[in-house]
Structure 1
Amino acid sequence: MASSTVTSSQPDRPPRPNLAFRRLRGRRSPAEFAALVRRAAREIGERVSCDARYVGRVEAGEIRCPNYAYERVFLYMFPGRTLADLGFAPRSSVRGRGARPAGDASPPCGTDPVPTAGDTGAAVKPYDTQDPYETHENHEESDVLRRAFMTGGGATVAAALGPFGLPIDAAATPADRPQRRAGSTEATALEEAVRRIRLLDDRHGADGLYRRAAAPLRAAYALLDAGATRQATVDRLHSGAGELAISVGWLAHDSGRFDDARSHYAEALATARVTGDPALEAHAFCNTAFLARDAGRPREAVRAAQAAQRVGRPLGSARLMSLLALREAGGWAGLADRTGCEQALARAHALFARGRSDADPEWMTFYGEAELEGLEAQCWSTLGDWPRAARHARRAAEVQDPHFTRNIALYTAELADDLARGGRPDEAAQAGLRVLELLDQVQSSRIQTMLAGTARVLLPHRRALGVSEFLERHASLPRGV
């Protein structure tokens, strides 16, 4: 798809009503059904702005194929059905692509096309800030992001992530920066850039994305310099810039650039303190604690996690406090303090059991049972309790949403390492092979480092079932993969 002209979301022919979707609504009103969609989205960590109008547009056939967020929600609500079963058209038929060669079947709606060498995707259209989850441009843009990311289309990724209408060129001079004051459109674009980075990271890992994410961050702080006329917009800009700094910091963290990550987290923390934003401050401390643990500074990890809990407690989110307790547990494990670790883990589980609430920060959508299990596995691994670590890592991989490929690879790599160190080389090799199969979709230095460690542990066990195959395939990986 070297080039593409995006067609209107309203085809020339009259839309065909989606009777299959209408039957699924049953006797519920459109508003009642929309509420069920939003509830299902929350259960799987998605964000959709579904209302009665959206349901009506789907049933009228105006929305011929949903975007990827709605796709995941609908398939979760109606297990065993495909999007075709729900009355939607193939995704390729609503993207304005040229005619396909005879016999080249279009992929079903919701199926990601396979990128080809040199394919950098189509030009990105401006985002519809009034209804960002319903536009045709969003379908095209989501595809462009994934294809450009996996094929290394740097310019396209930068353009797709950058807040629209803002300079994101690294060489931009002060004269190139926004001269007019920012408004709600720019604030919305900034918030959306954060969501896109998180989505791509969840699916593919950080390595290929980090190199392209610095420019949108510069654009975000250029917005702060330009100012805004309304205080509400100023607050949104500060919060958005701080969250973007944390997201870029995490990309640096996950790709092994610890010094860069520390700088970005510090920038977010400073932004939070300047504006008196406790939610942003808690998030910055949370990530700082995680980084300190990974960088071999466990005492700092404990202190940062405890600071996050102090500032985050008044926010009223049990899930946030549960995650922060896990961050503290990781620090205690690094200090070889089993009692401190167990106490923090107990708090994390008790708080997690209280369930979700409206007070939960948006960035915490990743934190579910799988992440809880995965972080606990890391604690037991650090303490050298390999069997216990393996049980939690296995559970994490089993319950993780299949769309989050990066996390599945991470938890399975953790499982492989725990099994290898726990004296179960054959099972470790099988888990390692599963991770290798995912590396064409995931780019994460963290996962690659874990696999390399597992391979070293398994070297003396070459003759065990499956170990030689794992070692040979791992050794054949291209450098940097």
Structure 2
Amino acid sequence: MTPETFPQMLKGRRNDRGWSQQRLADALCQDSGRATVTRQEVYRWEAGRRVPKFWLPHIANVLGVTREALERAITESCVPQPPTLAELLPGERPVAELSATHRRRVGQSTAERLSARVHALRLADDVLAGHDLVGPAFRELDSAVTLLRESTQTEEVGTALRVAVGELAQIAGWIASDAGRHDQAERTYRLGLSAAREAGDATLAGQLAGSLAYQWSNTHRESDGVELAEAALTEAGDEAPPRARALFWDRVAWAHTKTGNARSAMRALGEAAEALSRHGGEDEPTWLYWVDAGELQVMEARSFTELRRPLRAVPLLNDVLSRYDATHAREMALYLSWLAVAYADANEPEQAANVARRMLDMSTDLGSDRTAERAQVVRMSLEPFRDVPEVREILSAA
């Protein structure tokens, strides 16, 4: 008799209980205490596209089968290939499809001016929040797409224009996401991905897909975020500049963190540090200017905080904040929010309250949905300590 594969065993035990895929997903969420399994994820397991690791003991619990039996079934299964970026993000509208009858010819200087405007928008995003920039960002993007579709150019200039549109779509999508416009951000990332692919820029394609993966990880699509972050890293390839690889590994780490997979998150953080260590004078896109050891340290600290390891997170965050540029108010407020939560998890409510006060004061009227959401998380982390005077003062004011 042929041994059962894992997809066969999972589907068979689920059907034995008369459960739908959604019912199994709900049972796994309840057993684990993590609301991160979706019906779509169960479908992927049963289709042999993914193999669960973190979820194996919970699958064993809810289906009444031993973990050893599940692991034996996995060894009988074909090793699934990770989905490609094209499979995960099908149907982007190619920029090349945008056409017009009357065209004007543009040259390299036009592409260079557009690239400079994109970088200026990035620098503005360092000090301004999403609600302040979303209007100007999308006016710039609309103008760039119009320029591309209503002009003629040499192949070299056309490639440069597509790269600029892709880079502009990435920063505009990031700004839209910061403003809480997640659907608009996703559409924009997909448009940029199309432009990057037409330009043959795999590193930029990885940046756009990784940005969307990061959004998914933060908007209750954690499993999808893992798949897309890993696919973005694969599409960028080993030829991507070291700082780009470090950034993409950082996003993989965060995606695994959001699913509670500590081992995979720590491995990805190690890969990010290794990639960054190889940086040294190579040609690279200008959008990598902000990726450095400090940013990797922030991601490491955030991961430790999310995974409830405050003793690892607190010193890292304090070190970063001691030398961070105070003009970057949004990022500083976000980092303070992680520090406040880490202090609360470490059972240091007075310290948590002091940091929370700084964070809440700094984030007032910032115009960022991300800081608003983090402020709510900070308040929730303080609730168990309401009897502490410093905490009560902050919660009462809120």
Q: TM-score, normalised by structure 1?
A: 0.58
Could you say what secondary structure the match of 1:357 adopts?
Answer: coil
1:375 corresponds to? 299
8 Å CA contact 2:242–2:279 kept in 1: the answer is yes
Q: Deviations over 1:294-326 (max 9, x none)?
A: 122222222222222223234342221111111
8 Å CA contact 1:413–1:432 kept in 2: the answer is yes
8 Å CA contact 1:426–1:464 kept in 2: the answer is yes
Q: Deviations over 1:35-93 (max 9, x none)?
A: xxxxxxxxxxxxxxxxxxxxxxxxxxxxxxxxxxxxxxxxxxxxxxxxxxxxxxxxxxx
1:315 corresponds to? 239
How many Å separate the matches in 2 of 1:298 and 1:241? 28
The equivalent position to 1:426 in structure 2, one of 350, 353, 362, is 350
How many Å separate the matches in 1 of 2:282 and 2:128? 28
Pairing 1:15-54 to 2, within 5 Å after superposition:
none
How many Å separate the matches in 1 of 2:366 and 2:117? 20
Pairing 1:347-358 to 2, within 5 Å after superposition:
347-358=271-282
The equivalent position to 2:215 in structure 1, one of 291, 305, 308, is 291
Tell me which of the two structures has the higher relative contact order, counting C-alpha pairs closer than 8 angstroms and 6 or more residues apart.
Answer: 2
8 Å CA contact 1:316–1:359 kept in 2: the answer is no
Specify the code of the residue in structure 1 equivalent to 2:116.
E
Specify the code of the residue in structure 1 equivalent to 2:304.
W
Pairing 1:361-372 to 2, within 5 Å after superposition:
361-372=285-296
Specify the code of the residue in structure 2 equivalent to 1:294.
N
How many Å separate the matches in 1 of 2:153 and 2:136? 30
How many Å separate the matches in 1 of 2:365 and 2:327? 11
Specify the code of the residue in structure 1 equivalent to 2:342.
D
8 Å CA contact 1:317–1:357 kept in 2: the answer is no
* Matched length: 300
The 1:411/1:428 distance shift into structure 2, 3 A limit, reads same
2:41 corresponds to? none
How many Å separate the matches in 2 of 1:252 and 1:421? 31
1:19 corresponds to? none
How many Å separate the matches in 2 of 1:314 and 1:341? 20
Q: Which runs of 5+ in 2 are unaligned?
A: 1-98
Q: Deviations over 1:364-383 (max 9, x none)?
A: 11212231122122222332
The 1:397/1:228 distance shift into structure 2, 3 A limit, reads farther
2:83 corresponds to? none
The equivalent position to 2:258 in structure 1, one of 297, 314, 334, is 334
1:203 corresponds to? 127
How many Å separate the matches in 2 of 1:429 and 1:310? 42
The 1:178/1:284 distance shift into structure 2, 3 A limit, reads farther
Q: Which runs of 5+ in 1 are unaligned?
A: 1-173, 476-481
By how many angstroms is 1:178 displaced?
A: 8.6
Could you say what secondary structure the match of 2:237 adopts?
Answer: helix
1:395 corresponds to? 319
How many Å separate the matches in 1 of 2:330 and 2:298? 13
How many Å separate the matches in 1 of 2:224 and 2:314? 27
Specify the code of the residue in structure 2 equivalent to 1:343.
R
Is 1:386 the counterpart of 2:310? The answer is yes
8 Å CA contact 2:217–2:225 kept in 1: the answer is yes
8 Å CA contact 2:363–2:371 kept in 1: the answer is no
1:88 corresponds to? none
How many Å separate the matches in 2 of 1:442 and 1:323? 26
How many Å separate the matches in 2 of 1:184 and 1:324? 30
Provide the alpha-carbon RMSD of the alignment.
2.4
Is 1:281 the counterpart of 2:212? The answer is no
The 1:464/1:439 distance shift into structure 2, 3 A limit, reads same
How many Å separate the matches in 1 of 2:272 and 2:315? 18
Specify the code of the residue in structure 2 equivalent to 1:218.
D
Is 1:267 the counterpart of 2:188? The answer is no
Pairing 1:185-196 to 2, within 5 Å after superposition:
185-196=109-120
8 Å CA contact 1:319–1:356 kept in 2: the answer is no
How many Å separate the matches in 1 of 2:114 and 2:136? 15
1:95 corresponds to? none
The 1:413/1:253 distance shift into structure 2, 3 A limit, reads same
How many Å separate the matches in 2 of 1:436 and 1:400? 18
8 Å CA contact 1:405–1:441 kept in 2: the answer is no
How many Å separate the matches in 2 of 1:389 and 1:201? 26
How many Å separate the matches in 1 of 2:273 and 2:198? 33
By how many angstroms is 1:385 displaced?
A: 2.1
The 1:316/1:447 distance shift into structure 2, 3 A limit, reads same
8 Å CA contact 1:292–1:300 kept in 2: the answer is yes
The 1:371/1:436 distance shift into structure 2, 3 A limit, reads same
How many Å separate the matches in 1 of 2:159 and 2:167? 12
2:75 corresponds to? none
The 1:178/1:383 distance shift into structure 2, 3 A limit, reads farther
